[in-house]
Amino acid sequence: MLLETINKESRKSENILNALLEYQKSKDTNHISEEELAQLAEELGITESRAYSIITFYSLFSTRPRGKYIIQVCNDVPCYVNGSTNILEELEDYLEIRVGGTTHDGVFSLERTSCLGCCNMSPAIRIGEKVYGSLTKDDIPRIISEYRRKYHEEI
Amino acid sequence: MNMIEVTINNKKISVPEGITILDAAKSAGIEIPTLCYHTDQSVKANCRVCIVEVEGMKTLPSACSTAVRNGMAIHTNSAKVLEARRVIIEMILANHDADCLKCHRNLSCELQNIANQAGVRTNRFENVLEFKEIDDSSPSIVRNPNKCIKCGRCVEMCREVQGINIIEKIGRSSELEIIPAFGRYLSDVACVSCGQCSTVCPVAAIYEKEDIDKVWDAINDPGKHVIVQTAPAVRVSIGEEFGMEPGSIVTGKLVAALRRLGFDRVFDTNFTADLTIIEEGNELLHRLKTGGVLPMLTSCSPGWINFIEQYYPELLPHVSTCKSPQQMFGALAKSYYAEKTGIPVKDIFVVSIMPCTAKKYEAKRPEMRVDGIHPDVDVVLTTRELGRILKQAGIDFNILEEEKYDDPFGITTGAAVIFGASGGVMEAALRTVYEIVTGKTLDKLDFHNVRGMGGIKEAEVDLGGTKVKVAVAHSLLNARKILELIKSGKCEYTFIEVMCCPGGCIGGGGQPYHTTNELRRKRIEAIYEADRHIPIRKSHENPAVQALYDEYLEKPLGEKSHHLLHTYYTDKKKKDCS
Amino acid sequence: MKKYNLDLITRNCGKIDPYSIDSYIEIGGYDTVRNIFAQDCENIINEIKKSELRGRGGAGFPTGNKIEYVYKANITPKFLVCNADEGEPGNFKDRFLLENDPHQLIEGMIIASHAAGINKGYIYIRGEYNKAIGILEIAIEQARRKGFLGKNICGSGFDFDIEIYSGAGAYVCGEEFALIESIEGKAGRPRNKPPYPVSAGIFNKPTLINNVETLSTIPYIIREGAEKYTSVGTASSKGTRLVSLSGNVNRRGVFEVPFGISVREIIFNLGKGIPHGRRIKMVQLGGASGPCIPPEMIDIRLDYEEFAKNGLSMGAGAVIVIDDRHDILDILRNILVFFKHESCGKCTPCREGNRHILNILDKFITRTATEKDLSTLESILNVMTDTSFCGLGQAAPTAILTALKYFRHQFLLGIYKEFEIRNAV
Domain of residue B189: give its range.
130-208
> Which of A15, A58, A117 minimises the CB distance to C170?
A58
B362 among known catalytic residues? yes
Are residues B504 and B556 located together in one domain of the fold? yes
Query: Sorting pLDDT into bands at 50, 70 and 90, what band is A155?
Result: confident
| A and B: number of Cβ contacts within 8 A | 40
CA–CA separation, B520 and B515 (whole Å):
7
Are residues B492 and B396 located together in one domain of the fold? yes
Whether residue A57 and residue B172 make contact (CB cut-off 8 A), yes or no, is yes
Residue B155 within any structural domain of the chain: yes
> Which of B51, B92, B175 minimises the CB distance to C387?
B51
Mutate to test the interface with A, among C246, C289, C330 (most CBs of A within 10 A): C246
Are residues B381 and B494 located together in one domain of the fold? yes
Domain locations in chain A? 2-57, 69-154
> Which of B60, B91, B173 minimises the CB distance to C348?
B91
- Write the ipTM: 0.96
Which chain C residues have a beta carbon less than 8 Å from that of B122? none
CA–CA separation, C325 and A85 (whole Å):
14
* B286-310 confidence digits (pLDDT tens): 999 999 999 999 999 999 999 999 9
CA–CA separation, B226 and C324 (whole Å):
81
Name the catalytic one among B109, B194, B300, B322: B300
Element holding C124 (H helix, E strand)? strand C120-125
B338 touches chain C (CB under 8 A): no
CB C67 within 8 A of CB C112: yes
CA–CA separation, B204 and A152 (whole Å):
54
* pLDDT (0 to 100) of residue A13: 67
The arithmetic mean of pLDDT across residues B561-571, rounded, is: 96
Are residues B160 and B189 located together in one domain of the fold? yes
Are residues B150 and B181 located together in one domain of the fold? yes
**Would the pTM of this model clear 0.90, i.e. be above it?**
yes
* C230-261 confidence digits (pLDDT tens): 999 999 999 999 999 999 999 999 999 999 99
Name the catalytic one among B110, B156, B280, B497: B280
* B34-44 confidence digits (pLDDT tens): 999 999 999 99
* pLDDT (0 to 100) of residue B408: 84
Chain B residue with Cα closest to C359:
B126
How far A45 CA sits from the closest chain B CA (Å)? 7
Residue B535 within any structural domain of the chain: yes
Are residues B528 and B543 located together in one domain of the fold? yes
* A61-94 confidence digits (pLDDT tens): 999 999 999 999 999 999 999 999 999 999 999 9
List all residues of chain B from 108 to 167 with a beta carbon under 8 Å from chain A. 159, 164-167
Are residues B202 and B151 located together in one domain of the fold? yes
What is the CATH classification number for the domain harbouring B479?
Answer: 3.40.50.1780
| B and C: number of Cβ contacts within 8 A | 101
* pLDDT (0 to 100) of residue B353: 98
Q: What is the largest CA-CA distance in chain B?
A: 80
Is the pLDDT at B465 greater than 90, yes or no? no
Residue B571 within any structural domain of the chain: no
* B161-187 confidence digits (pLDDT tens): 999 999 999 999 999 999 999 999 999
Strands B11-16 and B3-8: antiparallel
- State the DSSP string of B281-322: HHHHHHHHHHT-SSSEE----HHHHHHHHHH-GGGGGGB--B
The arithmetic mean of pLDDT across residues A113-129, rounded, is: 96
Whether residue B182 and residue A50 make contact (CB cut-off 8 A), yes or no, is no
Are residues B301 and B244 located together in one domain of the fold? yes
Cis-peptide, bond into residue B408, ω within 30° of zero: yes
* pLDDT (0 to 100) of residue B576: 47
B12 among known catalytic residues? no
Mutate to test the interface with C, among B35, B49, B51, B124 (most CBs of C within 10 A): B124
- The three-state (H, E, C) secondary structure of A109-139, written as one string: EEEEECCCCCHHHCCCEEECCEEECCCCCCH
For chain B, how many structural domains are there in total? 3
Is the pLDDT at B369 greater than 50, yes or no? yes
B177 touches chain A (CB under 8 A): no
Which chain A residues have a beta carbon less than 8 Å from that of C247? 77-78, 81-82, 119, 122
Whether residue A81 and residue C127 make contact (CB cut-off 8 A), yes or no, is no
* pLDDT (0 to 100) of residue B302: 98
Q: Residues in chain A, how many? A: 155
DSSP code at position B556: T
DSSP code at position B461: E
Is the pLDDT at B442 greater than 90, yes or no? no
The structural domains of chain C, ordered by start, are 21-230 (3.40.50.11540), 240-323 (3.10.20.600), 328-424 (1.20.1440.230)
Query: Sorting pLDDT into bands at 50, 70 and 90, what band is B577?
Result: very low
* B130-164 confidence digits (pLDDT tens): 999 999 999 999 999 999 999 999 999 999 999 99
Whether residue B60 and residue C386 make contact (CB cut-off 8 A), yes or no, is yes
Whether residue C89 and residue A77 make contact (CB cut-off 8 A), yes or no, is yes
List all residues of chain A from 62 to 121 with a beta carbon under 8 Å from chain C. 72, 75-78, 80-82, 113-121
What is the CATH classification number for the domain harbouring B7?
Answer: 3.10.20.740
Which chain B residues have a beta carbon less than 8 Å from that of A38? 575-576
Whose CA is closest to B428, among B308, B540, B343?
A: B540
* B255-278 confidence digits (pLDDT tens): 999 999 999 999 999 999 999 999
Chain A residue with Cα closest to C338:
A114
Which chain C residues have a beta carbon less than 8 Å from that of A114? 87, 89, 169, 171, 338, 341-342
CATH number of A69-154: 3.40.30.10
B203 touches chain C (CB under 8 A): no
Which chain A residues have a beta carbon less than 8 Å from that of B185? none
Is the pLDDT at A7 greater than 80, yes or no? no
CA–CA separation, B2 and B4 (whole Å):
6
B20 touches chain C (CB under 8 A): no
Are residues B242 and B152 located together in one domain of the fold? no
How far C227 CA sits from the closest chain A CA (Å)? 33
Of B151, B176, B208, which one is at a domain's C-terminal end?
A: B208
* C83-139 confidence digits (pLDDT tens): 999 999 999 999 999 999 999 999 999 999 999 999 999 999 999 999 999 999 999
% of chain B with per-residue pLDDT over 90: 94
